Structure 1
């Protein structure tokens, strides 16, 4: 086998690609700016990782250089690879190569694609299908974001960032929802809608979505050369419909209706209609792939979620600590509403770290009132900067303004995570509470480090 080098190997998706090539027998090297647990796991499996990007990491013996979407074209390693005429592949091009002989099942949408693709993998695996997957999150049932098998099915998270999901062909697809996001990629909502419509047009045989998306994309499902089925909650016109919903602590129960007929009662770990919709999307894919509803009910009885998706890090004594990847305004709205609805005598505390200056600035008005909920304490930390040239003072200014618009009630703004820690330590001494940490940046690491101090 040849030699693969991966630039930005420590990312959640890139680490999965590295694992694929390791298992396929390739020599795998890589680089990233900082070490993390994913890199440590790759090193244990035989990958050679360099911390820091440098020209010396590139050799003429390398067969392919694969790079993350976060890596700019002027990166010294990409420049060296071009100088040596090495084959260079972006993440989506690498996924196209990996899945070229497979039936790809992808889940895409502005929100929920990680959870939905993970649920699909869980359903197919429990139903006895030989399924492979590369997903942008750690599946707790598999303790991994990657699995390779000999079967035909390959589950991918269809990432719209950089229009990646248009670079490979999906046979089956799920489109969860559409909201404007990634203003650094898409000029406006119409530009984003055009990309999603192209995704639908490129599908091989089957689409699972909902009526709202059909209306947004102005789809005439009768004109499409694929089968289209819909999901909904208390929507009898949907092919797969959830009714009689009940929540107990962190678990949801619902009756499944298929084509208007009551099937069975399902149980899933997770709260909120959005989690039930994602379960219905996975059920639709499983049904299309020939699984019985009994098999899928069993799959969800074993489902234990995805890392950073309303993940319970700690639950003992006087506190519960939860972490979630939510950072888009509507995600923050939905996830904090989930916290709000939990029946408990404990106080409810949310700590939100905004993600990306560009996103926060462009979507600023959408954050208005998002935290106007019955929560006991609300904290906003400074914006987590990604791939952006912006002064710290400007990050701080926008963060302060965001804290003032995101809630009309009392709210704390913290310039540094160290300030958050000081606040938590003082509050935690006096209250029983549920703490919800939100954001796509290093707020998750912060939460895990705080929990580690409890033991």
Structure 2
């Protein structure tokens, strides 16, 4: 696949967060881009406003017969009419990961993988490189609040890429700098066992280019098996790591701290977003920036200006009377970090969490972990499972989690019932969490809580 000789690209699933980033990459390089998605969203409307053609009916008559390249997401079922048509007609049909594979071959690639934190760290790195004037091409798994986008381009032949473990996509990448945040079990519908999933992460580190660097979180599983010619370890506060945070102070829903390594220190870093885990994420991002030779002053200025990612510890409301946080957390460890950080930042406020489980398999495999993390809240609201690509599994529902929460009030509500509940109850610290469509509650909840 020669990315430089493509005139027309067609995307099946163009509205996905990762797919849309690649669509924007081609579009900004002068390629004709069009595509299909199942439903119209704010993101697909943005793509259309930027000049890309998008339709929402699985119909080969609406597809591009002149496409040089067809890109599809693994979330698309093999029975999809347009996908089958392109395959039968002999078009070059590839997955999103195949395009990223070529990009990492051609450019100096910084990739971020792990069960947690990869969207925040990759966005932080890309923001530091852009804000400092270093420059990069960014392929992100979330929408940067600073720029309102999940992709931006640069003449600098550097790419920052969120490395997605779903469908083993990240194993096609060839990074110069590889970040690894965690190997907590997830996507066991793909990997089967936790050990097999860990083996995939180890393979990810084997794909680091010669003389490349692995930046891994200290304490990550199977640390002795990780590859890469150069290793750096980062941590929240462990002095044995190569880079860690010190002198952490909470301020106005964010933090100030120093990032310390053996031969350098970035003092008085101001991070204006919440979550202790985001301090650790910033340590990883700052470590990568330092490897690239970006100055402490430029790093400090960039982090102070970092506004976060939509749905990553996003403050929808933050005042003395009411705090409303919306977050993408869909794994027990992510929920634990979210709830514990919010309670630490806003002590004394009753914490109510509305959580929408994502996938039947994940709920089945991690139910006890979800219950344990949700029990950190003072009150729990569970929404029905968001199935995404899955069919229901008998005996698996939100009740599976609810039955394991014995020490806190818990109820299962539909989305409209959550709004009715809020009209009749106080929730001074209210959190919505999940990777499904719970984000549709954000604006109506904001209206009720502001009312």
Please state which band the TM-score falls in when normalised by the shorter chain: over 0.9
Structure 1 stretch displaced more, 19-28 or 176-185: 19-28
Q: 1:219 aligns with which of 225, 238, 250?
A: 225
Q: Work out whether residues 245 and 259 of structure 2, in 8 Å CA contact, stay in contact via their aligned partners in 1.
A: yes
Find the partner of 1:208 among 215, 225, 233. Answer: 215
Question: Contact between 2:137 and 2:152, CA under 8 Å: does it hold in 1?
Answer: yes
Q: CA deviation at 1:158?
A: 0.7
| 1:313 aligns to 2:320 (yes or no) | no
SS of residue in 1 equivalent to 2:189: coil
1:275 is aligned, of 275, 278, 285, to 278
- Give the aligned partner of residue 291 of structure 2: 288
- Once residues 343 and 86 of structure 1 are traced to their aligned partners in structure 2, the CA distance between those partners, rounded to angstroms, is 55
Q: Which among 166, 170, 175 is matched to residue 170 of structure 1?
A: 175
Aligned to 1:450: 445
* Structure 2 partner of 1:388: 390
Q: Which moved more, 1:38-47 or 1:398-407?
A: 398-407
Residue 17 of structure 2 corresponds to residue 15 of structure 1:
no
Q: C-alpha displacement at 1:376, in angstroms?
A: 3.6
In the alignment, is the contact (CA less than 8 A) between 2:111 and 2:161 conserved in 1?
yes
- Tell me by how many angstroms 1:252 deviates: 1.3
C-alpha contact 2:213 2:228 (8 A) present in aligned 1: no
After superposition, residues 4-153 of structure 1 pair within 5 angstroms as 4-153=9-158
Shift of 1:345: 5.1
CA spacing shift, 1:263–1:18, aligned 2, 3 Å: closer
> 2:3 — aligned with what?
none
Q: Within 2, Cα distance between the matches of 1:425 and 1:54? A: 43
Matched, 1:330 2:329: no
Contact 2:15 2:43 survives alignment (8 Å): yes
Match status 1:441 vs 2:436: yes
Contact 1:236-1:260 at 8 Å conserved across structures:
no
In structure 2, the gaps of 5 or more residues are: 1-5
Q: How far apart in 2 are the matches of 1:276 and 1:318? A: 26
Report if the CA contact (8 A) 2:378-2:408 is conserved.
no
Instruction: Check whether the contact 2:205–2:228 (CA below 8 A) recurs between aligned residues.
Output: no
Taking the aligned partners of 1:50 and 1:317, their CA distance within structure 2 comes to 45
Call closer, same or farther: CA 1:370–1:79 in 2, change over 3 Å: same
What is the alpha-carbon distance in structure 2 between the residues aligned to residue 398 and residue 263 of structure 1? 47
Q: 1:158 to 1:432 in 2, by over 3 A?
A: closer
Question: Normalising to structure 2: TM-score of the pair?
Answer: 0.93
Report the alpha carbon displacement of residue 123 of structure 1 after superposing the two structures with TM: 1.4
Asked whether the equivalents of residues 131 and 151 of structure 1 are also in contact (C-alpha less than 8 Å), the reply is: yes
Residue 194 of structure 1: CA displacement?
Answer: 0.9
Q: Mean Cα displacement is larger for which, 344-353 or 232-241?
A: 344-353
Distance 1:93 1:449, change over 3 A: farther
| Contact persistence 1:173–1:206 (CA under 8 A) | yes
The 1-side partners of 2:213 and 2:93 are apart by 32
Aligned partner of residue 405 in structure 1, secondary structure: coil
Is the contact made by 2:324 and 2:429 (CA closer than 8 Å) also made in structure 1?
yes
Per-residue CA deviations over 1:222-241 (Å, capped at 9, x if unaligned) read xx552111112331111112
Residue 413 of structure 1 corresponds to which residue in structure 2?
412
Deviation readout 1:352-402 (Å, 9 max, x if unpaired): 1111111101112322322222x44321111111111227xx58x621121
Question: 2:374 and 2:10 mapped to 1: Cα distance?
Answer: 43
Q: Which of 337-346 and 122-131 deviates more? A: 337-346
Size of the aligned set, in residue pairs, is 443
Q: Distance in 1 between matches of 2:71 and 2:32?
A: 13
Aligned equivalents of 2:253 and 2:31: distance in 1? 42
Query: Deviations along 1:399-423, whole A, 9 cap, x unmatched?
Result: 1121121452211111x21111111
5+ residue gaps, structure 1, are none
How far apart, in 1, do the equivalents of 2:444 and 2:61 lie?
A: 34
Task: Tell me how far apart the structure 1 counterparts of residues 18 and 72 of structure 2 sit (CA, whole Å).
Answer: 11
CA displacement at 1:117 relative to structure 2: 0.2
